[in-house]
């Protein structure tokens, strides 16, 4: 069995790249598709798992490197799971995360059906021979007013259950210990640690 000494971290999102790189063992070299000039694929899957596999397959085929990709998003119960797999596009269409968060707060308030939400992350590792493994992690929490400056994306409006801080008020290590990506990674790690 061939040990993994380098991994393409298949994302164009800088916040994700930092988090995924920190989850992986230090001795493994992490490579960004941006540095290799590889663009993003079209994400036309219907689930986080499908989109994660689309990304891993695309980046793996284009780099010929073992690739780890993530598809993730914020699901809000009172909004029937929105923005969900369209979390990135929702922010893009509104011109950025600040406007997207303001819009979400307005919608949640108008619905008046509570603030329950969850972050979901599906991680896929794919080898150049086509072998792939996908695992999903979920962290439940509540939507709050915009608080904190750390992290990325929707971190300022998400407070995990059992904590008083939003993800953006936590320092990076604190968030990374508990978040959806860590939960997905722990499941994946059990299956791939033999390659490290
Ligand atoms: P890649 O496809 O290149 O990985 P992306 O940002 O488009 O980058 P997604 O399609 O998976 O990634 O979209 C996920 C969205 O959910 C994106 O807008 C993120 O900012 C947001 N998101 C995911 N995990 C998050 C986290 O831990 N904290 C805050 N926002 C998060």
* pLDDT 10s digits, 16-51: 999 999 999 999 999 999 999 999 999 999 999 999
Q: Using CA atoms, how far apart are residues 83 and 75, in angstroms rounded to an integer? A: 6
Q: Does an H or E element contain 108, and which?
A: helix 97-111
What pTM was computed for the model? 0.98
Residue 31 pairs with which residues in a beta bridge?
A: 8
Measure CA of the first residue to CA of the last residue in the chain; give whole Å: 10
State the greatest distance between any 2 C-alpha atoms of the chain, in Å, as a whole number: 55
CA angle 133, 62, 176 (to 5 degrees): 50
Residue 127 has pLDDT above 90, yes or no: yes
Percentage above 70 pLDDT, the chain: 100
Confidence label for 1 from pLDDT (cuts 50, 70 and 90):
confident
User: Active-site residue 145, yes or no?
Assistant: no
> Does the CB atom of residue 52 touch ligand 1 within 6 A?
no
Selecting among 35, 70, 71, 171, the annotated active-site residue is 71
> Does the CB atom of residue 150 touch ligand 1 within 6 A?
no
pLDDT score at 85: 98
């Amino acid at each position: 069995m061939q040990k993994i000494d380098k991994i393409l971290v298949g994302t164009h999102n800088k916040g994700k790249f930092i988090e995924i790189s920190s989850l992986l063992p230090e001795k493994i070299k992490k490579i960004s598709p941006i540095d290799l000039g590889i663009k993003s694929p079209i994400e036309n899957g219907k689930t986080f798992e499908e989109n994660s596999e689309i990304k891993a397959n695309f980046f793996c085929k284009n780099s010929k490197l073992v690739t780890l990709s993530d598809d993730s998003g914020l699901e809000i119960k009172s909004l029937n799971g929105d923005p969900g797999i369209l979390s990135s596009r929702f922010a893009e269409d509104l011109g950025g995360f600040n406007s997207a968060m303001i819009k979400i707060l307005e919608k949640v308030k108008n619905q008046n059906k509570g603030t329950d939400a969850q972050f979901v992350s599906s991680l896929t590792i794919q080898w150049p021979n086509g072998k792939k493994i996908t695992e999903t992690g979920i962290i439940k929490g509540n939507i709050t007013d915009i608080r904190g400056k750390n992290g990325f994306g929707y971190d300022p409006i998400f407070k995990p259950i059992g904590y008083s801080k939003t993800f953006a008020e936590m320092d990076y290590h604190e968030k990374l210990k508990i978040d959806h990506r860590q939960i997905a990674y722990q499941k994946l790690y059990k299956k791939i640690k033999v390659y490290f």
